Structure formats: C-alpha cells, structure tokens
Amino acid sequence: MKNIRILVLILCACFVSVAWSQQPAAKGHTNWSEFHRANMMRWNPYEHVLNVDNVGRLGLKWGHKIGLGAGVCSPAVENGVVYVGSDDGNLYALNARTGAKLWSSYAIYPGDSPAVADGVVYVGSFYDGNVYALDASTGALLWSYTTGDSVDASPAVANGVVYVGSEDDNVYALNATTGALLWSYGASVGFSSPAEANGVLYIGSDDDNVYALGASTGALLWSYTAGDMVDSSPAVANGVVYVGSYDDNVYALSATTGALLWSYTTGGHVWSSPSVANGVVYVGSDNTNLYALNASTGALLWSYTTGGQVYMSSPAVANGVVYMVAGAKTYAFGLKKGRE
C-alpha cells in the first residue's frame, strides 16, 4: 500500500495511465477513490492500454513537489483530481493531467491515504487524532470528529458511513454528512484500514486480532487471533478475508465465521495488504519479496525478490500486470510468472 517515501509522481502517472476505475471509463479520467476499491479487490478489469508488452516504456508525465514528501500516503484519484497527503501537514489536490495544484489544506497531518466520496474528501490525522471531511473542490472544512489518539489508517466510506480506526483503541462509524458518531467498538487499530463487504466491517488490530463487526451496529460477529499485530488491511473476495500479520504470515479466513482456511509463511513481516485477482492473492513482505499465492489453497505460485523493502506497499493489478512499490522503485510484473 503505502510506503511511498518518494514523490508521488510515479504512482500518479500509473493512476492516470492505468485507468483505475469502478466503472468503465468514458474517455479520460477514471477513479480510484480510496485505498480499497468498493469490491475490496485491488484490481481493475477495465484497463486495455497498458500491458506486459508496453508498460516498461512508461515515462514521467509531470511532477509536483509536495512539501517534505508523501510519507506513507498513497494518492486517491477522483474526477480528474489526485488527492495526496504530505509530511508537511498538508493534504494536496492536484490536477491529474498536469500536476497543477488546485488547493492544499494545512495542519491536517494525514495519517494515511484519503478517501473521496460524493464530493467530500475524508482523511484522518496522526497529529491531533481528528477525522476531517473537506470539500473536494475547494478544500474547505465541512466537519471534523475528534478521537482520543492518532488516526494512522485510511478511512473507508460505504453507504453514507465513514469507518476508521484510531490508536485510542476504538473503531469508529461516523455519519458521512455530519460527522456524528453512529457507533464505536473497542479495538487497538494501527495502520489497518477497514473493509466493508455485505454489511460486515473487517479490520485488523495491534492486539493481534482480525475483527468482523456489523457495519450498521458495530456488534462483534467474530474475531481471529494471529501470532502478532495485524496492521495489514483486509481484502475480502468470494467469501474469504485475506490479511497479513507481523507474525510473517498471510491468512485466509472465512468471511462468515472467521475460521482459518489456510495460512502461508513468508519469512518477513506482512504489513502489505493483499490484492486478489483471478484466483490469485498478491502480497508483499518486508523480506523484500512479492508473493503470488493460490487464493483457494495458499500454495505458492511464484515469488520475486525486489531490490528494496516492501514494508507497507500493497500490490495493484490491471490487465495482466501487478504493480508494487519496493524501496524507492515502482515495479511492474507479469502476473503469470512474476517476470519483472
């Protein structure tokens, strides 16, 4: 996902060119409006331009310096605008075609990637523990909600509700229009972003658990205890929750019961969030490897050793290519054999 301690431009170029979208693109701009897409699968079935034969010829289109750098924030792209946080405390809105700054909002100190929905940008702050809602066109503050500690993870927005975790040991559900608290649940959330699917909210925690909560009530449905912290963000696909842990494992859990279906040991901490596409789980490990695992069995299909630590970078898939950041580089691999 998320360890983009370089200028955001490489990924911005990919976001614009690779046609991230939840709907078929009309002509120009397409959207990837939050860390997880609505279907939880970090892949785009509508890309028909970039492929394994031409992706190696990608070049820099534009650059825009964003203060001290992008920190751990991945960009969100919505309606021709790139939204990205910076270590200088600002959230920036940039023209996706030119890189020109449209606005910036100071002193938010984004903890992670913003989420954009219905003309509003939602972002948490690691500095003051607030969740902010900003007008997507102007950056004007619409509302804020104060939690008790840092908000390090990306919010998720579904059905008019903003879901976000805080290091004050709570998961919050907020009214997306007003910021009013709908419910909270006690769980120590670090960098795990929530995933909502079929009325259930899935989230990892620093108390070593994966939680499944009723999205409308916050009631606990089940929990699964891993061997260490779960800062990976769950991905939900075909009735299975895929998530990594600091105990070096990738887990596949029943989305209904939380029962363990399989686990795979990578040999390094798995902060990376899995991507699921065409029956394969792609996930990075901080032992510098990218892994491709059979989604049904967990069997290793292939792995690739990059030149840098994967840390929290999460793969994204489009048209036969998987993209991932490792160290200070963005990699593109062929899906079938993991060829760079």
pLDDT tens-digit profile of 25-64? 334 446 666 665 555 456 677 778 889 999 989 888 998 8
User: If pLDDT is split at 50, 70 and 90, which confidence band does 21 have?
Assistant: very low
Q: 22: buried, middle or exposed (CB in 10 Å: 19+, 13-18, 0-12)? A: middle
Task: Tell me if the pTM is above 0.85.
Answer: yes
From the list 190, 182, 195, the residue with the least C-alpha distance to 209 is 190
Residue 132 predicted with pLDDT over 60: yes
Q: Which of 59, 86, 82, 70 is nearest to 4 (CA)?
A: 70
Q: Using an 8 Å Cβ cutoff, are 154 and 184 in contact?
A: no
Would you state the pLDDT for residue 33?
A: 62
What pLDDT sits at residue 48?
83
pLDDT at 120: 96
The span from the CA of 129 to the CA of 111, in Å, is 9
What is residue 137's predicted lDDT score, i.e. its pLDDT?
96
Q: Walk me through the domains of the chain, giving residue ranges and CATH numbers.
A: 9-334 (2.130.10.10)
The string of DSSP codes covering 26-88 is -SS---B-SSS-TTS--EETT--S--TTTGGG---------TT--TTPPPEEETTEEEEE-TT
How far is CA 320 from its chain centroid? 20
Write 104-110 long-range contacts (CB < 8 A, 24+).
104/139, 105/132, 105/134, 105/139, 105/141, 108/132, 109/85, 110/71, 110/73, 110/85, 110/86
